[in-house]
Structure 1
Amino acid sequence: MTIWTWDPQQREFVAGGAEGELRLADSWLVEAGSVRAFERHRRRFSKDAFELGCTDADTAYFWSALIDLIPRSGEWFPRVEILGDDEPALGFRLRPAPTRTDELNVWIPPFADPRQHPRTKGPDIARLAEMRRQAHEEHKCDEVLLVEEHGFAVESATSSLLWWEGETLCVPHPGLAQLAGVTTSLIQDEARKRSISIEHRRIQPEDLSGHEVWLVNALHGIRRVRAFSGSYDSVACPAPGWFWEWKQWLDAQAEPI
């Protein structure tokens, strides 16, 4: 992994990381110089960064310099970020892409979503990483389902939640505190183009049983939940053919950065 910090005076990245707590972050998968929905990631990060006082994050010269740091070969999972409190600094990490999967087991913890900033990506990353470590070591699960105080499923530690009820694509209700996911927005836009009904709903984890359940993010694309473990256990049926068709469609959305 290589780390840079943005120098706002020279308008360039310099080697080395900034200090302080993580305030904001965004990541995307790069394969052979191509990315899905890069402009959506850029807009999401720029908007939140501007609110933190990092106005350079909304400039063409910042993003042009960042793009120049990304190799056009290989597989990468870079992260743009803001660190620090009094004088927040923009940073960039070039990380090799982790192994991707198509299915996963998900732990449902016996406590409510502990995030302090559920609508902002970044401040709770360390807390969520610890939950995922616990899920893996104690429950042999790959992910954690976040459930709010009234018992409704919101999303996972790293992914947006989607599920199917018949031919209807279901999305957690916008009144639930969740991140504005880039990948889920792509999928919903395509569903509308295909005249697929989309419903925003509140659902308890146990009511997901018997449905095709997806967790989606920039790294893995679409992953289906193979099994839940925790407050209740369930095992999904074999993947339907249209799951693979949707995965292929999403993979095809990558464009040169």
Structure 2
Amino acid sequence: MSEAVGRPNDELYVADSFRVCVSRGTAEARGLSRHIARFTTSVRSACTDLNMPFREADFEHFLRDSLTQIEKYGEGNPRLELWGGVNQTPELRLSLRPLPELSESIELRSIGTDDPVLWHPERKGRNIGVFSALNRELGAEAILTNADAVAEGTTTALIWWIGSDGFISASTRRVASVTEALICEIAENRSEQLTPTHITADALVECEVWAVNALHGLRTATMLDGRPLAAPDPLRLAGYRAALDRTWEKVAGIVF
């Protein structure tokens, strides 16, 4: 495992990051066990695609060591990574990163039919560089589409509301969001439902939209393509945010 030193022709194939906070001296992360499970599945899949060996014992040692380091580091935005290159053995790395500035709202911008060509859109990792460049170019969170239907944001999953009815993207060509899954469980506990469906960016402008991810939690989207989005229902928003804040897990208590 390495935290800083790279190799020529390295490529980031899999990544999984999350926010760590410290509460009463204990390091915690929202939905951490789900992040570990998603990273494990993605690494196995990437190794198969790339004809690279997956060594179970080494992988479990990496996870244990990483969680120990993450707990010691405390508040931050750590990232678990799988790196590889031409004719190279895959390398698992932990990147310990400080917590960036957090926000409660975000502006969105669609990119129409010019979606980038992605490598395994359902897997977080290799597309990160493309997404970062796209967001810088647009000056906002880019919205990716599949066949003109909204799929996801480059760093977020999207949830939208039409009155009391909530929806998520039905696209399978997107990253399975841990935070979205947590919010779907919250909705079920509230006797509400977030229905998978398809929607165009033009239709999304008429909705109340949430952009959710592991770092920021639940943010409200204020603008889409320069047009204001519907104001959030304050009671619903507060209820979901409070429930999401009950999903923190102790880093030291994770079993895999």
- In which range does the TM-score fall when normalised by the shorter chain? 0.7 to 0.9
Q: Which amino acid aligns with 2:19?
A: L
Q: Normalising by structure 2, report the TM-score.
A: 0.85
- Superposed, 1:91-240 pairs within 5 Å as 91-114=93-116, 115-136=118-139, 141=140, 143-148=141-146, 150-174=147-171, 176-229=172-225, 233-237=227-231, 240=234
* C-alpha distance after superposition, 1:87-146 (max 9, x if no partner): 21111100001111111111112433312321110010000000010121xxxx3x1111
Q: Which amino acid aligns with 2:67?
A: I
Q: Normalising by structure 1, report the TM-score.
A: 0.85
Residues 184, 193 of structure 2: 8 Å contact kept: no
Residues 76, 96 of structure 1: 8 Å contact kept: yes
Q: Which amino acid aligns with 2:173?
A: A
Q: Secondary structure at the match of 2:206?
A: coil
Greater alpha carbon shift after TM alignment, 114-123 vs 244-253: 244-253
Partner of 2:12: 22
Q: Secondary structure at the match of 1:95?
A: coil
Partner of 2:68: 68
Return closer, same or farther for 1:113/1:56 CA change in 2, 3 Å cut-off: farther
Partner of 2:237: 243
Q: Structure 2, unaligned stretches of length 5 or more?
A: 48-52, 252-256
Corresponding residue pairs, total: 237
Q: Percent same amino acid at aligned positions? A: 30
1:84 offset after TM fit, Å? Answer: 1.0
Partner of 1:8: none
Q: Secondary structure at the match of 1:70?
A: helix
Give RMSD over aligned pairs: 2.1
Higher relative contact order (CA 8 A, sep 6+): 2
